[in-house]
Every structure is written in C-alpha cells, then in structure tokens.
C-alpha cells in the first residue's frame, strides 16, 4: 500500500517484538509513524475512505498482542513529541514518554511526576488508562486534552469535562477518540528533592517488581483500596505458576512475565486461570487492566 508513505515513516511486514513490553513475537503488515497531526488526520481520512483497518499504539506497555499477523496499519504517534513551557503550564505531544517528561520538568524547576519516572508508557497512553502510582494519577495535574474524534474533528477539553477514575478515563470508555496533545499544570519543585524521591522509588520498584523480565506491569486492577489483587493471587499459592513461556512472578503476584518465548495465548490462558481461581475462592471478579488486541 504505497499510498501510506505520504503520511509519515512507514515500516512494512514488521515484527512487533520491539513494540510491546511483553516482547511477544508477532507481526503487522504496516507500522506508520505520522510526521505531524496534519499527516495523522490525512491518514485517518484515507483509512475511512478505503476501509483500511488500523489502531493507535502507544509504547505497547499495557497490551497483549494476538499471535497472528495484523493485516492492517498500526499507528505510532512517537513523532508527536513536542514539549513547550509557559510558566508552570507544560504542553506535550501524545507520543512523549511519561518517564522522560518526569525528568524533563524537573530540569525546569517543576514537580509532580516523580511517581511516573518508572512508567514505560506514553503521555497519550497514560491519559487513556489514567496510569497511576503511589496514590497519584495522570489526571491529577492534567489541565486540557486535545484529541481527534470519530468524525475527524479536533477537540480540546478541560480535564473536568472528561470522565476519569481508578485506572480508567473517558478515552478508555470511548477508544474511537485519539489523543494528540495535553497540557499539564505542575507545582514548582526542587531538583534535588525530586531526584531523591525518584531514586527512592526506583529502589522500591527494583525490590518489589520483576523488572528483569519483560512484562506489561500490573495485570489486574485492585478490587478495592483495601484489597490488592497481588495478595489474592499470592494467597492462592499461584506465584511461579507457568503456562508456556508466561509465568506469574515470584516477586509480585500481579505481574505476569515472559520468561522466554511466551505467546499472547500463554498470557491470556494464565490470566483466565487466575480469574477463575479468584472467583472460585473469593467470589471476586478481577478486572483486567491490560488491553488485549484481537485481530
């Protein structure tokens, strides 16, 4: 589909292993990196007119890919990577990595994203799922979001007009909308204090999470603020349970890791097993936090 080349950088018949943090080996016919918002809009119009299947992918840090080849276009917004400052207001492209932004604002005397220094997701992806850690969420300092709706209109909305909650948002409930930019308002901070906080939390993550293996972070939402999914899974003795190359981490039971050669089916089967066991013993329906991609 040579026409796609006009919209940005195009990869053909490409392995998706580097595009998902589980490091699952699957393929796509095309991966498109639009060069700017105008190119993205032109592609979306082209796709609608020609019935071209596509989906938007952030850093692939919260997805479980299918094992079959995707016969469509995966759209990566990594070239929407601008960052601009107006005092404490920071406007950033959806393709900027959240952990990069956390360090970037510290250089400019701002704080509020120290919690996100270990989050391997894009700004767009973190808004989509309202990523959080240490009781702070992406929406906390968010001011406005600019997105493309299903009719290809550019919409800018204030945070208060966008529904959001624990690990969810308006965009997760309405995935036809494509986040392209966001503005945050951050408090002023001290570089030394922020970096010390980041170092402390990195040590905590290293000691409690299996960062040495490919994973996509927490698999399930916590059923409540008092009840952790990891503890429920651990109490069932499921740590170390393995299906194919997928394994429930011995370090953190709410992580599934790829110990080598895991497939999307391995991970999904392990997820199903966990959900069935937790339902059987505790009568609790664990809600999957990660997104499954079926094609």
Q: Contact at 8 Å (CB) between 167 and 221?
A: yes
CA distance 194 to 201: 11
Which of these, 264, 265, 263, 241, lies nearest to 253 by C-alpha position?
Answer: 241
- Rg of the chain over Cα atoms, rounded to whole angstroms, equals 19
- Digit-coded pLDDT (tens) for 223-236: 998 999 999 999 99
pLDDT for res 162: 98
Instruction: Exactly one of 61, 111, 167, 181 is catalytic; name it.
Output: 167
Share of the chain above pLDDT 70, in %: 100
Catalytic: 268?
A: no
pLDDT digits (tens, 9 = 90+) for 46-80: 999 999 999 999 999 999 999 999 999 999 999 99
Residues contacting residue 90 through CB under 8 Å, at least 6 positions apart:
83, 84, 101, 105, 108, 110, 183, 184, 185, 186
Mean pLDDT estimate for the chain = 97
Catalytic pick among 137, 194, 215, 218 = 218
Is the pLDDT assigned to residue 192 strictly greater than 90? yes
Active-site residue flag, 289: yes
Tell me what the mean pLDDT of segment 269-280 comes to. 98
Beta bridge partners of 84: 91
Per-residue model confidence (pLDDT) at position 77 = 98
Instruction: Report the pLDDT value the prediction gives residue 246, as an integer from 0 to 100.
Output: 98
- 276 in active site: no
Whether 77 and 36 have beta carbons less than 8 Å apart is answered as no
* pLDDT of the residue at 2: 83
Q: pTM for the whole thing?
A: 0.95
* Mean predicted confidence (pLDDT) in 186-204: 96
**Mean pLDDT, range 149-154, rounded to an integer:** 98
What pLDDT was estimated at residue 75? 98
The arrangement of strands across the sheet holding 246-248 comes to: 215-218, 255-258, 246-248, 242-243
pLDDT reported for residue 1: 81
Domains of the chain in sequence order: 2-76 (3.30.43.10), 83-192 (3.30.465.10), 210-292 (3.90.78.10)
Query: What is the spatial distance between Cα 164 and Cα 287, in angstroms, rounded to a whole number?
Result: 16
Q: Please say if the pLDDT value at position 41 is more than 90.
A: yes
Q: What is the mean pLDDT of residues 149-171?
A: 97
pLDDT 10s digits, 8-34? 999 999 999 999 999 999 999 999 999
Q: What is the dihedral of CA 32, 38, 44, 47, to 10 degrees?
A: -70
114 pLDDT band, cuts 50/70/90, is very high
Q: Does residue 98 register a pLDDT over 90?
A: yes
């Amino acid at each position: 589909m040579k026409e796609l080349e006009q919209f940005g950088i195009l990869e053909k018949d490409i392995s998706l292993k580097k595009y998902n943090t589980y490091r699952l080996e699957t393929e796509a016919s095309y991966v498109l990196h639009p060069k700017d918002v105008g190119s993205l809009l032109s592609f979306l119009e082209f796709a609608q007119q020609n019935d071209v299947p596509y989906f938007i992918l952030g850093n692939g840090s919260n997805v479980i890919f299918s094992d079959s080849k995707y016969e469509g276009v995966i759209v990566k917004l990594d070239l929407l990577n601008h960052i601009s400052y107006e005092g404490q207001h920071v406007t950033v492209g959806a393709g900027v990595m959240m952990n990069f932004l956390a360090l970037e604002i510290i250089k400019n005397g701002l704080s509020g994203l120290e919690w996100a220094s270990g989050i391997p997701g894009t700004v767009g992806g973190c808004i989509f799922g309202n990523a959080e850690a240490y009781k702070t969420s992406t929406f906390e300092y968010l001011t406005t979001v600019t997105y493309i709706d299903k009719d290809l209109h550019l919409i800018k909305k204030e945070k208060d007009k966008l529904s959001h909650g624990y690990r969810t948002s308006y965009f997760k409930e309405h995935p036809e909308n494509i986040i392209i930019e966001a503005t945050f308002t951050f408090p002023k901070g001290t570089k030394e204090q922020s970096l010390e906080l980041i170092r402390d939390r990195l040590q905590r993550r290293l000691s409690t999470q299996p960062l040495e293996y490919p994973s996509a972070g927490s698999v399930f939402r916590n059923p409540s603020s008092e009840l952790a999914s990891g503890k429920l899974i651990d109490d069932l003795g499921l740590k170390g349970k393995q299906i194919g190359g997928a394994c429930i981490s011995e370090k953190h039971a709410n992580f599934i890791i790829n110990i080598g050669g895991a497939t999307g089916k391995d991970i999904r089967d392990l997820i199903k097993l966990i959900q069935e066991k937790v339902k059987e013993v505790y009568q609790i329906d664990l809600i999957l936090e990660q997104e499954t991609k079926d094609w």
